[in-house]
Structure 1
Amino acid sequence: MTANASAPPARIGMVGVGRMGSGVLARLTPSGPVAAFDTDPTRREVVSGAGGVWMDSVAAVAQVSDVFITVLPGPDEAGAVMNEALPALRSGALWLDLTSGDPVRVADLATEAAERGIEAVAAPMGGGPADAAAGTLVFYVGGSSDPVARAEPILRELSPDGGIRVCGPNPSDGPTVKLLANALWFANAVAATEALLIGQAQGLAPQHLQALLADSAGSSTALTQHLPRMFEGDYLASFGIDRVVEELGTVAALARSTSTASPMLDASADLHRQALARFGPVPGELLGARLIEELAGRYLR
């Protein structure tokens, strides 16, 4: 998995073997051993089943890694892991973060890593567990050219058909683009739900209206690929509504820090906070859309 075929293979370590990480691990192990750890000890069986080598701590993984990969639920978890990993990583190692994180915190951790002689690339993933297993993830990559070149062979193992999007020279650039992409998706999903409910009230069948709007100037990925799942009562349980709110809060903080007005995204964030209060911190990426259905007193299914 290295750019130089004459060099010895990079020793890869990985922390985070959950819904996304298990698919990532399974795609990496055929090319060589991967040392892995997860705070949930029951994931040991997942690691061994994928051909990985279970380690007993974050530090133990870091100590044997040339490339240290993190696949974690969010910025808090990534920060906690890196606080333990950075002192254990050797100078010259690469930290490859696949977490959907906070750009400010990623930048701070990358700075600390650089002070220790450790390179950093942030490449948050677009897609779900099925994409991780199938190799159809999209990666939003931030980092300078040399670390990105080191990370690219690994990313190509995870996405052979070229789902690599280089966003900018700073590790924080990848998370910034991924957050903005998600923020637009969340806003598009709730706006499209409103449009479908308005049309339904006018006597249009939601499925027919969805097909017409999907072929219009108002189309979006949320409208074409995801909202139809609501016709079967599926609100996309692969991502928690609490994580949606967390990401939208991070986008709002970025806007405030640059004095950028964001009334539309702020409105979406407020609605998703209401959905979190209504449904609790449960899986459901489209629970903001479900809340709109409840407020309308009608459902698309």
Structure 2
Amino acid sequence: MTSIAFIGLGVMGLPMAVNLKRRGHEVTGVVRPGRAHAGALEAGLAVTDDLPRAVSGADVVITMLPDTPDVRSALTDAVPHLRAGALVIDMSTIDPTATREIRARIVPESVGMLDAPVSGGEAGAVDGVLSIMVGGSKEHFSAALPVFEAMGRTIVHVGPIGAGQVVKAANQLIVAGNIQMVAEAVAFLDAQGADLPAALDVIGGGLAGSTVLERKRPAFLGRSYRPGFRLALHAKDLGIVQDTAAAAGLSLPLTAAVTQLVRALVARGDGHLDHAALLKLTEELNGRGV
């Protein structure tokens, strides 16, 4: 059993923390009073808003927060209270350069650190089958493996600190591009009068099949965009891709195009919707939206 302080009990964080508890770890959720606090209590987690107290006795501190400033702030507050030998695991999706800076300037060498962003959405978090891409030392990765195994199925060490965030950025550009192309295929099929469920069945069984097509199928067929992963967060992630690519002098034209579509949805007030709502915009651009 590992003592874990889990900071960030949102759509993804809460089921991840619950799965850690189910696997026998001692988990304390760090959350302010409010909806997330009530949800954590309902799920049977121990919760507190006293971050220093929660992290001071923890073997592992996990952050699962929306953006880079949130992670930086939480770890700045937490680090002075960590015991030597503790391990910080940031499972948020943030800027890889910032991850390296946090390791160099905030988290001391006496404390281990891994960056371990995840993919799989809310469903993957609930089912404990997330893909977890881990950056940091192999020693710390090995120590954290039992923790990761409670939350994920595909768990891979991808390089030194920051490498997890680089791989997650690549994951996010592939996901956004895939969703957009499926959205355009759905609009094309509908315009031609094809049986959409049957068409997606046969497409899904061939080379064009994908996890996006499988997982987002209900949203595409029902035009239901309850957030599993919000467009606002995907816009943030694509911004990380563009900034990192620009720093490396890379040109990613298709990434730029889908980023603009995602940002357009966010700008008009749809940032709270699931990223499958790229279909909503695609249909509207073709005079078929409601």
TM over 0.5: yes
Q: Within 1, Cα distance between the matches of 2:215 and 2:28?
A: 36
Counterpart selection for 1:14 from 6, 9, 21: 6
1:134-186 deviations in Å (ceiling 9; x for gaps):
22222111111111011101111223xx3212222x12111211221121111
User: Could you say if the C-alpha distance between residues 293 and 116 of structure 1 is closer, same or farther in structure 2, counting changes exceeding 3 Å?
Assistant: same
Partner of 1:205: 195
TM-score by length of 1: 0.87
1:164 counterpart = 2:162? no
1:36 CA drift (Å): 2.3
Of 49-58 and 76-85, the range deviating more from structure 2:
49-58
Matched, 1:27 2:19: yes
Residue 142 of structure 2: aligned partner: 149
Letter paired with 1:165: V
What aligned pairs does 1:72-87 form with structure 2 within 5 A after superposition? 72-87=65-80
Which of 91, 97, 101 pairs up with 2:94?
101
User: Helix, strand or coil for the counterpart of 2:144?
Assistant: helix
Q: What is the match of residue 177 of structure 2?
A: 187
Q: Give the Cα separation in 1 of the matches to 2:71 and 2:188.
A: 42
Q: Which moved more, 1:25-34 or 1:96-105?
A: 25-34
Displacement of 1:95: 0.2
Separation of aligned partners in 2, 1:70 and 1:272? 26
Whole-angstrom distance in 1 between the partners of 2:98 and 2:212? 29
How high is the sequence identity, in percent, across the aligned residues? 26
Q: Could you say what the CA RMSD is over the residues aligned between the two structures, in angstroms? A: 2.2
Contact 2:183 2:220 in 1 (8 A): no
Does the CA contact (< 8 Å) of 2:234 and 2:262 recur in 1?
yes
Report the TM-score, using the length of structure 2 for normalisation.
0.90
Uncovered stretches (5+) of structure 2, i.e. residues with no partner: none
Of 180-189 and 191-200, more deviation after overlay is shown by 191-200
CA contact (8 A) 1:240 1:282 kept: yes
1:115 counterpart SS class: coil
Q: Answer whether contact 2:238 2:259 (CA < 8 A) is retained.
A: yes
* 2:113 pairs with 1:120: yes
The size of the alignment, in residue pairs, is 289
One-letter identity of the residue aligned with 2:82 = L
> Quick one: distance in 2 between partners of 1:174 and 1:253?
16
Confirm whether residue 111 of structure 1 aligns to residue 101 of structure 2: no
Tell whether the 8 Å contact from 2:32 to 2:49 is kept in structure 1 after alignment.
Answer: no
